């Protein structure tokens, strides 16, 4: 069964939290905080850590119960299990919060690139370029494997912690321990309002604990590891931030090394730490200030690692929403090779790119929603701050991202109170003390912080949230994956066919550990009289790939909407018994099993079974009464699909026919044709030159080159009114089945471009020619290519010059 493998231990979980917390906030906020309230900034950061810790405690308790990906969305959906709109809103908000936060980090990083690292000659590039490129690279990293992503997270987090330690150590070495502590203790101020305002700004730097819980499905022993990693990361970050504040306060002890006054330095925002670092580490190499660029490197490390952790968290939420039917089901799919939620990660990456571009374009310099002169003075949490032109978009993006994090955090605290009352006897590996008082305090603190967010970002966040809720109401959601199909009749083989064993657990698996390496062919059977023919064909084909294949026969009984599953269980059981009895009278020389499912979506059942049981091929009938089922299977299958039609003796492959076609499906089919040729089959490569409009010619050379040189291969040049007619008539004369690639134009109306396989099937039925249509697994790039192919195909039909002998043909 394709599923996540838990690969992240405590070090990676700790690094995820630490890496998300140590981000742009400490680098940009520390100077302003010390400028406003001096050493009291430490109290503000500790207060922010305490407020964050309240919600973190709720997350820890939930994580000790539910050890899956999804974080706050998982916790609320398990607690409020019958309130779909509420849980959807929380999941959607968290997804936007994580992607928005990542967009903010990467857009800020982009600003640092332009200010410090990119030569002036490259400043013609639009702002956001490097942020978008980094988002794509991180998306690829997370798509290919969480273990690789976790290792990357540990390395980058260690690097930026090292930078902060060097910065702090440079201060103590430059100033001295005694003077540094004396300056710090002497700079405390009584500023209650200022302290709370700084705490409001600093709070968002501590939300990284939620990224740990959101990735619980990847973490080893999550019930123990997650609470420990959350506590350790918050404590570590608080200590680091305390020493950073101590260092920033001691800027007054190195005034002689500063080009500007301490107050001017502290108001520089994100560059303040760089100026202070150069004073503590007054070293230059080739004219490059080491201290400044040390902080630049640390800031970039911080933003990249925080972005990486947030993408991992967002993809976990998207995957869970897809599995529970509150997002497209595609988001729940696990990549068969990488074991990651590939589509969810891809979607999160796409949203991040859109947010970077949208906010920098619409709210940045010259944006349609920023009729404000550049370098204007504004107020953030009561502080007067000069905002640069680039920061206009970032200011709005910060409000957008933080709103979509604070609201769900408040709901998680409320969910804990409800969970304690609803499930008082539930086992909890960790319990928050002082419930309900502590969670209520967390709710009040989270909601209160929204008051300090940038108005534009909050407005955009609310508008988008309302719009997405409206879309969900119109859509209505989809059934939970676990509710869509059920393995009602467990897998039976000739050995246990008469045992009568049934299973009603939808999680029943038909694969065992010793079967996982065997070549598996899934045979969905709709028409019971075809079961024996398709199983024999699957056995014949399976032996082309493996000496000991296994054939998995599945019959799906459709459940009409609003119909209880129990009503069709007996029908499903009877179908399996009839199939098993029928196969028992046949001479089938491979191992096979028969199982029965009930499902509200037959195509989904076939696809989910293929994914869960790691099928290597699917063999099924060519679409007749329900072409939409076969079409969905063709496009969405995790493996190659073969559609069979007209086989009477599927074991006879002494002679086979293949069209000299083109395209990915045809190329994929040649691996099977090659295996048959190597097994002794005589292969006829039929090269048809259409004299009319029934297809486009291809070159047979490419097909022949992919077949074995020692095999019995014959090329037949044929001229016919259409490709389909030439293929069928020649195959009828030769004898044996005809193998062709699936169409690439099925997504469009058939009467616009036509479909050679459909015409072949219609002609072959009258000519008694068995046909095997081969559809290769369709990846994202191939799907995009298929959308463009019909245009190319039509252009080629218009421009191709017909030759009497013909050299081109495509049944694909």
Spatial distance between the Cα atoms of 605 and 599, rounded to a whole number of angstroms: 6
Bridge-based pairing of strands 682-694 and 655-659 is parallel
Question: Given this model, what pLDDT does residue 634 score?
Answer: 83
Question: Given this model, what pLDDT does residue 245 score?
Answer: 92
Beta strand segments in 456-498, E: 485-492
Kindly tell me if the per-residue pLDDT of 624 is higher than 70.
no
Kindly tell me if the per-residue pLDDT of 576 is higher than 80.
yes
Spatial distance between the Cα atoms of 301 and 160, rounded to a whole number of angstroms: 6
Question: Given this model, what pLDDT does residue 71 score?
Answer: 80
Cα R_g (the chain), whole angstroms: 32
The residue among 200 and 61 whose pLDDT is bigger is: 61
Spatial distance between the Cα atoms of 534 and 579, rounded to a whole number of angstroms: 12
- pLDDT (tens digit, 9 = 90+) per residue, 398-443? 889 888 988 998 999 999 999 999 999 888 888 999 999 999 998 9
Residue 778's pLDDT band, with cuts at 50, 70 and 90, is low
* Residue among 302, 233, 175, 243 nearest 10 (CA): 233
Tokens of 700: 């047979």
Residue 554's H or E segment, with its range, is strand 550-558
Residue 294's pLDDT band, with cuts at 50, 70 and 90, is confident
Question: Given this model, what pLDDT does residue 380 score?
Answer: 38
Residue 798's H or E segment, with its range, is helix 780-799
**With the C-alpha atoms ordered 601, 607, 609, 611, is the resulting torsion angle positive or negative?**
negative
Comparing 198-202, 459-463, 605-609, 723-727, which segment has the lowest mean pLDDT? 198-202
* DSSP bridge partners of 205: none
* 554 and 502 Cβ atoms separated by less than 8 Å: no
Q: How far is CA 1 from CA 199, 354, 637, in A?
A: 47, 34, 15
User: To the nearest whole number, what is the mean pLDDT of the chain?
Assistant: 80
Question: Given this model, what pLDDT does residue 513 score?
Answer: 43
The arithmetic mean of pLDDT across residues 477-483, rounded, is 66
Relative orientation angle of helices 455-475 and 84-112, to the nearest 10 degrees: 140
Region for residue 128 given its phi and psi (left: phi exceeds 0; alpha: psi -120 to 50; beta: otherwise): left
Residue 162's H or E segment, with its range, is helix 146-175
Tokens of 792: 């190319």
| Beta carbons within 8 Å of 462's beta carbon, 6+ residues apart | 403
The backbone torsions φ and ψ at residue 241, rounded to the nearest 5 degrees and listed phi first, read -65, -35
For the chain, the first-to-last Cα distance in angstroms comes to: 32
The DSSP output letter for 113 is I
645 three-state secondary structure: strand
Tokens of 518: 């065997």
Residue 32's pLDDT band, with cuts at 50, 70 and 90, is confident
The residue among 493 and 155 whose pLDDT is bigger is: 155
Tokens of 794: 């039509």
Residue 379's pLDDT band, with cuts at 50, 70 and 90, is very low
Place of tokens 């089922």: 629
Kindly tell me if the per-residue pLDDT of 469 is higher than 50.
yes
Comparing 261-275, 592-606, 682-696, which segment has the lowest mean pLDDT? 261-275
* DSSP bridge partners of 810: 696
Spatial distance between the Cα atoms of 451 and 402, rounded to a whole number of angstroms: 11
91 three-state secondary structure: helix
Question: Given this model, what pLDDT does residue 621 score?
Answer: 86
| Residues in the chain, total | 812
Residue 711's pLDDT band, with cuts at 50, 70 and 90, is confident
Residue 56's H or E segment, with its range, is helix 41-63
Could you tell me how far CA 693 lies from the centroid of its own chain?
43
Spatial distance between the Cα atoms of 164 and 113, rounded to a whole number of angstroms: 20
The arithmetic mean of pLDDT across residues 581-589, rounded, is 88
The arithmetic mean of pLDDT across residues 140-159, rounded, is 75
Residue 796's pLDDT band, with cuts at 50, 70 and 90, is low
Residue 510's pLDDT band, with cuts at 50, 70 and 90, is very low
Question: Given this model, what pLDDT does residue 182 score?
Answer: 92
* 294 and 110 Cβ atoms separated by less than 8 Å: no
Spatial distance between the Cα atoms of 62 and 737, rounded to a whole number of angstroms: 58
- pLDDT (tens digit, 9 = 90+) per residue, 513-567? 455 678 999 999 988 888 999 999 999 999 999 889 999 999 988 887 666 777 7
* 650 and 537 Cβ atoms separated by less than 8 Å: yes
Tokens of 55: 């919600």
Spatial distance between the Cα atoms of 464 and 486, rounded to a whole number of angstroms: 36
Residue 129's H or E segment, with its range, is helix 129-144
The residue among 195 and 489 whose pLDDT is bigger is: 195
pTM for the full predicted model: 0.71
220 three-state secondary structure: coil
Question: Given this model, what pLDDT does residue 495 score?
Answer: 46
Question: Given this model, what pLDDT does residue 480 score?
Answer: 64
Residue 504's pLDDT band, with cuts at 50, 70 and 90, is very low
The arithmetic mean of pLDDT across residues 50-55, rounded, is 86
* DSSP bridge partners of 597: 487, 556
Question: Given this model, what pLDDT does residue 506 score?
Answer: 38
* Residue among 403, 405, 409 nearest 452 (CA): 403
The arithmetic mean of pLDDT across residues 757-770, rounded, is 88
The backbone torsions φ and ψ at residue 455, rounded to the nearest 5 degrees and listed phi first, read -65, -40
* DSSP bridge partners of 629: none
- pLDDT (tens digit, 9 = 90+) per residue, 68-80? 777 889 899 889 9
* 589 and 548 Cβ atoms separated by less than 8 Å: no
* DSSP bridge partners of 496: none
Place of tokens 């001229």: 719
Question: Given this model, what pLDDT does residue 809 score?
Answer: 43
* Residue among 347, 322, 300 nearest 482 (CA): 322
* Residue among 450, 442, 418, 449 nearest 55 (CA): 442
Question: Given this model, what pLDDT does residue 749 score?
Answer: 38
Spatial distance between the Cα atoms of 555 and 446, rounded to a whole number of angstroms: 52
Burial 526-563 (b: 16+ CB within 10 A, else e): beeebbbbbbbbbbbbbbbeeeebbbbbbbbbebeeee
Comparing 237-241, 267-271, 327-331, 407-411, which segment has the lowest mean pLDDT? 267-271
The residue among 471 and 632 whose pLDDT is bigger is: 471
Spatial distance between the Cα atoms of 438 and 435, rounded to a whole number of angstroms: 6
Spatial distance between the Cα atoms of 340 and 412, rounded to a whole number of angstroms: 26
**With the C-alpha atoms ordered 77, 80, 84, 87, is the resulting torsion angle positive or negative?**
negative
Kindly tell me if the per-residue pLDDT of 511 is higher than 60.
no
The backbone torsions φ and ψ at residue 548, rounded to the nearest 5 degrees and listed phi first, read -135, 65
| Beta carbons within 8 Å of 519's beta carbon, 6+ residues apart | 542, 545, 546, 548, 549, 550, 616, 617
The arithmetic mean of pLDDT across residues 186-201, rounded, is 81
Beta strand segments in 233-330, E: 284-285, 288-289
Burial 727-759 (b: 16+ CB within 10 A, else e): bbbbbbebebbbbbbbbbbbebeeeebbbbbbb
Comparing 377-381, 543-547, 664-668, which segment has the lowest mean pLDDT? 377-381
Spatial distance between the Cα atoms of 199 and 570, rounded to a whole number of angstroms: 63
Question: Given this model, what pLDDT does residue 500 score?
Answer: 40
């Amino acid at each position: 069964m394709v599923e996540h493998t838990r690969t992240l231990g405590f070090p990676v979980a700790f690094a995820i939290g630490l890496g998300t917390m140590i981000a742009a906030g400490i680098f940009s906020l520390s100077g302003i905080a010390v400028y406003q309230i001096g050493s009291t900034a430490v109290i503000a950061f500790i207060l922010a850590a305490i407020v964050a810790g309240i919600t973190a405690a709720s997350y820890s308790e939930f994580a000790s119960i539910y050890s899956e990906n999804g974080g706050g969305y998982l916790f609320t959906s398990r607690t409020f299990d019958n309130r779909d709109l509420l849980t959807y809103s929380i999941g959607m908000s968290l997804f936007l919060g994580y992607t928005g936060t990542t967009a903010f980090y990467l857009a800020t990083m982009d600003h640092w690139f332009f200010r410090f690292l990119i030569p002036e000659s490259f400043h013609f590039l639009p702002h956001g370029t490097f942020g978008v490129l980094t988002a794509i690279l991180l998306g690829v990293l997370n798509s290919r494997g969480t273990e690789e992503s976790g290792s990357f997270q540990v390395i980058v987090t260690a690097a930026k912690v090292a930078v902060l330690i060097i910065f702090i150590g440079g201060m103590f070495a430059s100033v001295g321990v005694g003077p540094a502590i004396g300056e710090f203790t002497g700079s405390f101020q009584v500023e209650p309002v200022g302290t709370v305002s700084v705490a409001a700004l600093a709070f968002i730097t501590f939300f990284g604990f939620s990224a740990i819980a959101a990735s619980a499905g990847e973490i080893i022993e999550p019930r123990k590891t997650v609470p420990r990693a959350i506590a350790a990361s918050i404590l570590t970050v608080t200590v680091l931030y305390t020493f950073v504040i101590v260092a920033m306060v001691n800027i007054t002890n190195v005034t002689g090394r500063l080009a500007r006054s301490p107050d001017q330095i502290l108001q520089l925002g994100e560059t303040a730490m760089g100026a202070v670092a150069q004073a503590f580490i007054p070293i230059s190499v080739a004219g490059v200030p080491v201290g400044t660029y040390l902080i630049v490197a640390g800031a970039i490390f911080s933003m990249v690692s925080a972005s990486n952790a947030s993408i991992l968290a967002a993809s976990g939420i998207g995957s869970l929403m897809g599995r529970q039917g509150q997002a497209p089901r595609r988001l729940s799919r696990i990549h068969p090779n990488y074991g990651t939620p590939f589509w969810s990660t891809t979607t999160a990456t796409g949203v991040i790119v859109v947010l970077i571009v949208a906010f920098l374009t619409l709210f940045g310099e010259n944006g349609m929603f920023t009729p404000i002169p550049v370098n204007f003075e504004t107020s953030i949490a009561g502080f007067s701050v000069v905002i640069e032109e680039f920061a206009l978009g970032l200011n709005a993006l910060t409000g957008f991202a933080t709103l979509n994090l604070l609201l769900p955090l408040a709901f998680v605290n409320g969910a804990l109170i409800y969970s304690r009352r609803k499930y008082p006897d539930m086992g909890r590996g960790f319990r928050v003390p002082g419930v309900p008082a502590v969670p209520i305090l967390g709710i009040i603190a989270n909601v209160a912080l929204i008051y300090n967010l940038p108005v534009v970002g909050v407005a955009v966040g609310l508008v988008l949230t309302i719009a997405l809720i409206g879309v969900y109401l119109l859509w209505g959601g989809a059934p939970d994956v676990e509710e869509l199909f059920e393995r009602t009749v467990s897998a039976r083989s000739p050995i246990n066919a008469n045992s009568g064993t049934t299973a009603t657990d939808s999680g029943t698996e038909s694969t065992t550990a010793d079967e996982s390496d065997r070549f598996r062919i899934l045979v969905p059977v709709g028409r019971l009289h075809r079961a024996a023919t398709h199983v024999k064909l699957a056995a014949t084909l399976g032996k082309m790939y493996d000496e000991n294949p296994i054939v998995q026969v599945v019959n799906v009984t459709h459940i009409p909407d609003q119909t209880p599953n129990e009503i069709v269980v007996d029908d499903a059981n009877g179908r399996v018994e009839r199939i098993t009895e029928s196969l028992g009278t046949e001479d089938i020389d491979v191992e096979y099993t028969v199982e029965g499912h009930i499902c509200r979506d037959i195509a989904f059942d076939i696809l989910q079974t293929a994914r869960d049981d790691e099928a290597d091929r699917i063999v099924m009938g060519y679409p007749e009464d329900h072409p939409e089922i076969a079409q969905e299977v063709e496009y969405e299958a995790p493996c190659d699909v073969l559609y069979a039609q007209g086989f009477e003796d599927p074991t006879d492959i002494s002679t086979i026919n293949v069209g000299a076609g083109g395209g990915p499906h045809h190329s994929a089919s040649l691996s099977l044709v090659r295996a048959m040729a190597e097994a002794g089959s005589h292969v006829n490569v039929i090269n048809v030159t259409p004299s009319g409009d029934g297809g486009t010619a291809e070159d047979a050379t490419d097909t022949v080159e992919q077949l074995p040189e020692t095999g019995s291969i014959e090329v037949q040049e044929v001229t016919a009114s259409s490709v389909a007619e030439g293929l069928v008539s020649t195959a009828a004369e030769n004898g044996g089945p005809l193998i062709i690639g699936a169409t690439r134009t099925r997504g469009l109306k058939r009467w616009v471009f036509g479909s050679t396989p459909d015409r072949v099937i219609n002609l072959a039925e009258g000519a008694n020619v068995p046909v095997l249509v081969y559809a290769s697994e369709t990846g994202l790039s191939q799907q995009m290519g298929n959308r463009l192919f019909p245009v190319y195909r039509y252009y080629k039909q218009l421009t191709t010059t017909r030759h009497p002998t013909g050299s081109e043909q495509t049944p694909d």
